[in-house]
Structures are given as structure tokens and as C-alpha cells.
Amino acid sequence: MNRISVASGAATGSGSSVDATPYIRTIEWDMMNKTKFFPLSMLSSFSVRCCLFPLTVIKTQLQVQYKSDVYKGMIDCAIKIYRSEGIPGLYRGFWISSVQIVSGVFYISTYEGVRHLMNEMGAGHRAKALVAGGCASLVGQTIVVPFDVISQHAMVLGMAAHAGPRADLNPLGIKTGPGRSRFALSLDISREILKRDGFRGFYRGYTASLMAYVPNSAMWWAFYHLYQDELCRICPPWVSHLFIQCVAGSLGGFTTTIITNPLDIVRARLQVQRLDSMRVAFQELWREEHLHCFFKGLSARLVQSAAFSFSIILGYETIKRIAVEEQYKHQIRW
């Protein structure tokens, strides 16, 4: 099944020979206790989202602004949001976006399930990661896009305080004010989308989301295993395998972010600025930015992706080690 990799152990005797110690490099789906895995996975996902959500708000606001007319960069954006709205401004749309924790359960179940099926077919581990990552994102995006649309509208409402009452930052005409709660704003956004577009409005930008996130997810998992294999090959045996996996996750995040950045900007603009199609969004982005469209909001996305990738893999691989069945525990390397 190609589950167990062989790592070099400690030298024995006089040090002239090396004992090969087998360990499980990738903990597979049928090796885990699911009653432990799912609750811990949801808790880990929520904790990471709580810590890193401000980066999502900053990234989204940088992506939808015209050139650099509101913020000069990631740090400037964070400072202006904090000065005008405080900490709550950095968590605009958080509770709506937190529904992604539920979609995350479907995402990881699909990923591990497809890996398991392909494992029985004898596929290589990088091919398994590529296909399973794409399938997982397809399922996850189908569930989460409506909440993503509402969340992103809520995120950019605060930009009016820095850019003035621009229509493209509040295309739904939502009434904002110091006395309005986040919940009330989210309800108003939902009602307005339903009134203008019907149920289809909640899936605005769905195709763009799939084009941005399905390849992103597929490549991320493939690069994750690629970097993990290379790091395992070049690192000495005493280096923590969990640390190698976290670094591999961050490198995979960097790589896929650079490749897919323009698609993510188009997705955000379609959902927030209510443009007619991906073609219109691409044309407008090119007219405004030209070659800068490949780098717009990239610094925030790179920081976000690296931080998310490191944290998610740290939680995910730790939980897999905790949830692994007893008969495999002696073959687990931390």
C-alpha cells in the first residue's frame, strides 16, 4: 500500500552501521479513530480561523480597491482598519465565514475518502493528493460560497470610512452606522441579495471560485507532498517529521498562491462588485492594473497562505497522530 517509509535510525555499536527504522509517513484514513478525529479537527480549524481571520479581511479589501486609492499595502490597511473600527473591524464577517468550519469537515472527509479509493487503485501518493485535493475543494466550495459572498460584502463595508461612499464598495446599498450590529448587517446583505438576484445571487462568482480554489487545493496538496518528500530526503533523521510537514505546507501555500493570485482577485471582485462575468472582471482588472494584477494583494495573500498552511498542517497532522489507532502508534514519528 506504500504507507510506510523507511527512515535512518540511530547508529548502533561502534557507529559503523545504521539501523533502518520504519515509520508511517502519511497516516491514512482507515488508520484513524474518526470519533476523535472529527471533533478535534473542527476545534483546530476554528482556533486557526480565530487567530488568522484579520488577514482574510485585509486581503479582501486590498483586492477590491481601485489600484492603491484606499490602502498603500497590507500594513497600511491593517493600521487604518484598526484606527477607524478597532479589533471588531478586523473581524468583519467572521461569524458568517465561520460556517466554513462545517464545510471543512466535508472537505477533509472528501479528501481522505478519495485518497483511500485511489490508494486501493494503486495510485502514487502525489497523484492521490492532486485528485483528492481538487475533489475536496469542489465539495467544500459548493457548500461555502453563499456564506463567502455574504462575508465578503460585510468585510468591505468598512472601507467606505477610508474611501468615501463609493458605490462599488457598497453595491447593495446597505445602511451602515455605529449602532448597527454585525448580525443585522449580515441579515440585510442576505435579504438584499435574495431580493435582487434570488437564490442564484448567493452563488455569484461560483464558477470563478471553482476556477480559483479547485486548482489551488489540488496543487497545494500535490506540492505539500512533493516538498515533504524532498525535505525528508535532505534533512537529517533527528529533525521532527511534524516540523518538516509544517514547512512543506507553508512552501506549498507560497507556490500555489503565486500561481493563482489573479484568479482569486477576479473571484473576490465578482462576488463583491457584482460584475456580470469573469470576462468583464478580467477586462476591468487588466484595464486598472495591467501586469500589476499578478501582484495585487499578493503580499497579504502570501502571509495569509503561509500562516494558514503552517497552522492548519500543524493542527491537522497533530490530530491525525492523536486519533491514530493503537496498533499504529508505535510506527508514528513526531
Give pLDDT, residue 275: 64
| Residue 57 in grid coordinates | 479581511
Percent share of the chain, pLDDT over 70: 80
Separation between Cα atoms, residue 152 and residue 145, nearest integer Å: 10
* In a domain? residue 23: no
Most confident among 20-24, 186-190, 272-276, 281-285 (mean pLDDT): 186-190
* In a domain? residue 272: yes
Tally of CA atoms within 13 A in the half-sphere of 95 that contains its CB: 8
Domain ranges, residue 202: 34-325
Q: What is the mean pLDDT of residues 259-268?
A: 76
Separation between Cα atoms, residue 150 and residue 144, nearest integer Å: 10
What is the 3-class SS of the chain, one letter each residue?
A: CCCEEEEEEEEECCCCEEEEEEEECCCCHHHECHHHHHHHHHHHHHHHHHHHHHHHHHHHHHHHCCCCCCCCCHHHHHHHHHHHHCHHHHHCCHHHHCCHHHHHHHHHHHHHHHHHHHHHCCCCHHHHHHHHHHHHHHHHHHHHHHHHHHHHHHHHHCCHHHHCCCHHHCCCCCCCCCCCCHHHHHHHHHHHHHHHHHHHHHHCCHHHHHHHHHHHHHHHHHHHHHHHHHHHHHCCCCCCHHHHHHHHHHHHHHHHHHHHHHHHHHHHHHHHHCCCCHHHHHHHHHHHHHHHHHCCCHHHHHHHHHHHHHHHHHHHHHHHHHHECHHHHHHCCC
| Alpha carbon distance, N-terminus to C-terminus of the chain | 22
> Above 90 in pLDDT, residue 48?
no
Q: What are the tens digits of pLDDT across the range 62-115?
A: 777 766 667 777 888 888 888 888 888 888 878 777 777 888 888 888 998 898
* In a domain? residue 2: no
* In a domain? residue 259: yes
Neighbour tally for 218: CB within 10 Å: 21
Neighbour tally for 133: CB within 10 Å: 28
Q: Please name the residue that has the C-alpha cell 500543524.
A: 314
User: Number of folded domains in the chain?
Assistant: 1
Tell me which of 164 and 6 has the higher pLDDT.
164
Say which CATH number the domain at 97 has: 1.50.40.10
Q: Residue 16, Cα to own-chain centre: how many angstroms?
A: 46
Separation between Cα atoms, residue 98 and residue 197, nearest integer Å: 24
* Residue 125 near residue 26, CB atoms below 8 Å: yes
> Above 90 in pLDDT, residue 116?
no
* In a domain? residue 13: no
Give pLDDT, residue 244: 92
> Above 90 in pLDDT, residue 180?
no
* In a domain? residue 11: no
Close Cβ partners of 250 (under 8 Å, ≥ 6 residues apart): 306, 309, 310, 313
Q: What is the mean pLDDT of residues 130-154?
A: 86
Tell me the pLDDT of the chain averaged across its residues: 78
Here the contacts of 69-72 (C-beta below 8 Å, separation 24 or greater) are 69/163, 70/159, 70/162, 70/163, 71/162
pLDDT band at 120 (very low <50, low <70, confident <90, very high): confident
* In a domain? residue 208: yes
Give pLDDT, residue 160: 57
* In a domain? residue 29: no
pLDDT band at 231 (very low <50, low <70, confident <90, very high): very high
Percent share of the chain, pLDDT over 90: 9
* Residue 195 near residue 187, CB atoms below 8 Å: no
Neighbour tally for 93: CB within 10 Å: 26
Give pLDDT, residue 3: 41
> Above 80 in pLDDT, residue 7?
no
Give pLDDT, residue 247: 93
